[in-house]
Amino acid sequence: MKISIYNNYDKMSRAAADLVAEQLVNKPDSLICFPSGESPTGMLQHVISYANAGKIKLDKCHFIGLDEWVGMDETNEGSCKHYLYTNFFNKLNINDSQITLFNAKADDLKAECERINNFIAKKGGLDMMIVGIGMNGHLGLNEPGTPFNLYAHLSELDPVTVTVGQKYFKQETRLTQGITLGLQHLTEAKIPVLIASGSKKASIINEALNGQISTDVPASILQNLPAARILLDEDAASELEHLA
């Protein structure tokens, strides 16, 4: 893995957008996974700017969502789907045929996981998979204890995720399960990317990148991925004991 540290959130976000732009120039029909949450917003804004300026074209690529809260769709403002449409897809009028997201309200969620797995496989795998990191070290909704070799799956949400997840909702919301791409997807992605910012992430970043590789800290899997790109702002990197 390669760790890059930037002065602030905006510079980190621009660097992440540059990776996306480079990928799209090299392979216009790329399959790219975007996360939701606080971390990717700046990156998405820069990608939008690049597209509007004609620096990149998005007409041949395909986007896939990282995860979703079970039982939610775009009508829930805290849903991943609402976030991606509001902050990215709608701003560029991305065609729905280019977008694949989890249906977290499907009657058969295991079948939904298989639909996503099959879609990725038929596309030849993920060209780029971008993730953030949770306060408990999760990637997507791969919670502590999740085996590294899982593809898309249902997850029982960790109490830390349930608590932190409330920030995405205007009122307290019951969160129990998630549906998510798996860590095996990250392992197989041609370019796995982690973005993180803020001092609140500093401790878990150090544990993930310098600690023992263990399912107790899902993000520690990045130490096993030579192609992984780790993009941090100075605050998120402030507790790194050494550059792994």
82 a catalytic residue? no
Kindly indicate the confidence band of residue 243, based on its pLDDT and cuts at 50, 70 and 90.
Answer: low
Indicate if the pLDDT at residue 155 is higher than 50: yes
153 a catalytic residue? no
Tell me: the pLDDT tens digits for 28-47?
999 999 999 889 999 999 99
- Domains of the chain as residue ranges with CATH: 2-233 (3.40.50.1360)
22 a catalytic residue? no
Q: Can you give the pTM of this predicted structure?
A: 0.94
In the set 76, 136, 142, 206, the catalytic residue is: 136
Torsion of CA 203, 205, 209, 215, to 10 degrees: 90
DSSP state of 75: T
Above pLDDT 70, what percent of the chain?
Answer: 99
Q: What's the half-sphere exposure (Cβ side, CA atoms, 13 Å) at 38?
A: 15
Quote the CA–CA distance of 129 and 169 in Å, as a whole number: 25
Rg (CA), the chain: 17
Tell me: the pLDDT tens digits for 38-97?
899 999 999 999 999 999 999 999 999 999 999 998 888 889 999 999 999 999 989 999
Which residues, in sequence order, are bridge partners of residue 177?
156
241 a catalytic residue? no
